[in-house]
């Protein structure tokens, strides 16, 4: 190796390839959008349903036995549940 090249290689801090790849991947994800946790999305959807559904009659939900879905439903419709309308 040439002496100038050797000196340049020794003076520059080296980064691990994995760190470079993860930084580039994070920048690419941030550029295209973001990921939202399922729990937040579920709660937001049930709150939107509460706003969109008519207030007069009963509301019935038929869904899987998923605790996240159950918690979001109860959180959004707690007043209707207490009054026996959901």
Contacts of 80 (CB under 8 A, 6+ apart): 50, 59, 86
CA-CA distance, 31 to 43, in Å (whole number)? 26
The 10 Å Cβ neighbour count of residue 42 is 19
Query: What pLDDT was estimated at residue 47?
Result: 93
CA-CA distance, 30 to 45, in Å (whole number)? 23
Domain ranges of the chain: 3-32, 38-82
φ/ψ (deg, to 5) at 12: -80, 135
| Stated pTM of the model | 0.57
Share of the chain above pLDDT 70, in %: 59
Report which of residues 10 and 73 the model is more confident about.
Answer: 73
Contacts of 22 (CB under 8 A, 6+ apart): none
pLDDT, tens digit, 9 for 90 and up, residues 10-33: 555 555 556 656 666 666 665 666
């Amino acid at each position: 190796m040439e002496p100038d090249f050797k000196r340049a290689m020794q003076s520059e801090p080296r980064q691990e390839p994995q760190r470079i790849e993860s930084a580039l991947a994070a920048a690419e994800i941030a550029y295209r959008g973001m990921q939202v946790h399922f729990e937040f999305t579920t709660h937001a959807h049930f709150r939107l349903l509460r706003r969109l559904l008519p207030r007069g009659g009963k509301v019935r939900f038929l869904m899987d036995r998923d605790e996240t879905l159950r918690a979001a439903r109860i959180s959004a419709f707690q007043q209707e549940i207490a009054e026996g309308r959901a």
